[in-house]
Homo-oligomer: A and B are copies of this chain.
Amino acid sequence: MVNPKIAFKNKKVLITGGLGFIGSNLAIRLVKLGADVTLVDSLIPEYGGNLFNIDPVKDDVTINISDVRDPFSIAYLVKEKDFLFNLAGQTSHLDSMHHPDLDLQINASAQLSILEACRQYNPDIKIVFASTRQLYGKPKYLPVDEAHPLSPVDVNGINKLAGEQYHLLYSRVYGLHVCALRLTNTIGPRMRIKDARQTFVGVWVRRVLDGEPFEVWGGEQLRDFTYVSDCVDALLYSVASPQANGKIYNLGGVDVVSLSDLAKLIVKLNPDSEYLVKEFPVERKRIDIGDYYSSYQLIEEELGWKPKVNLHEAMLETFIFFKQSKKMYYD
């Protein structure tokens, strides 16, 4: 098994989407592990990048503001790096339906140029790609494992599938070291809470902080949640494990709960808060996937990863963080 205390010490690391939710939590961890960290982020306002996210390590990392759609910038940045954590992406399902070509440019086309840059300028770099459960679409069985058919229900899922497949292809055909992790709902400090573009939990948190009721659509849908520190562990293990090369792994969570149960947990942690149960808006309903939770058995068996932080602890830490710093996340 990978020992992160050794694997990343003095290593040169590039994180795309490095000012985003997961990227910034990863950057903070990598600095602690002694890595030489470069972050690339476009700071597009609708996405997850936020300079405050890396406040604890801002003097210990290199920040490069550019877009993964800029192949020249990326070609420069991948050179001489040991590891690439490829996390940049457009995450909003609804935005992908309204601006499908923009989603394609970021989630598919830019991925190709990142891989081309690695192939041409740094074929020994080790890459992990942040893929998504969205590729599976509406589950045909639960828990969803990696053999589940792929049938994305929105433009975002289709483009993320292409992006993931390019990664695996460049591993098979050109011998790049690549692993893809299919993330489920990731939550925790530094997530986008301004709106629901990253996760619906973000906008719930915001409403609680503002003393307003949050809206639960439906409520019976089952979901699993990975706390961000567990997600960071998985990224570290998979980028550095030789046996992860060319593989796809699901992540998952300690708990599987209904949205109503999550809402109740939030009210328990914030006794002044309240929520409203509403019908699904039509536009959301037609791209909703019903119940979903992942099997993470494969990554547990092969890399020894499993989620450690339960939902209660995850939400508690999330509220502690945002109560201290909410003004850095929205006006």
Q: State the Cβ distance, A68 to closest chain B Cβ, in Å.
A: 13
B149–A165 contact, CB under 8 A?
Answer: no
Residues of the B chain whose Cβ atoms lie less than 8 Å from the Cβ of A173: 97, 154, 286-287
Q: State the Cβ distance, A302 to closest chain B Cβ, in Å.
A: 19
Residues of the B chain whose Cβ atoms lie less than 8 Å from the Cβ of A108: 104, 108, 162
Q: How large is the interface on A (under 10, 10 to 19, 20 to 34, 35 or more residues)?
A: 20 to 34
B149–A158 contact, CB under 8 A?
Answer: no
Q: Is A215 an interface residue (CB 8 A)?
A: no
Cβ 8 A contact of A162, one of B113, B116, B154, B159: B159
Query: In the complex, which residue of chain B has the Cβ closest to the Cβ of A97?
Result: B173
Cβ 8 A contact of A165, one of B101, B109, B112, B158: B158
B101–A286 contact, CB under 8 A?
Answer: no
A112–B116 contact, CB under 8 A?
Answer: no
Within 8 A of B (CB), among A141-173: 147, 149-150, 152-155, 158-159, 161-162, 165-166, 169, 172-173
Query: In the complex, which residue of chain B has the Cβ closest to the Cβ of A168?
Result: B151
Q: Is A100 an interface residue (CB 8 A)?
A: yes
Residues of the B chain whose Cβ atoms lie less than 8 Å from the Cβ of A161: 161-162, 165
**Alpha-carbon gap, A150 to B147, bound state (A):** 11
Could you show 28 A-B contacts with beta carbons less than 8 Å apart? A97-B173, A100-B116, A101-B109, A101-B112, A101-B113, A104-B108, A104-B109, A104-B112, A108-B108, A108-B162, A109-B109, A112-B155, A147-B149, A152-B165, A152-B169, A153-B169, A154-B169, A154-B173, A155-B169, A158-B165, A158-B166, A158-B169, A159-B162, A161-B161, A162-B162, A172-B286, A173-B286, A173-B287
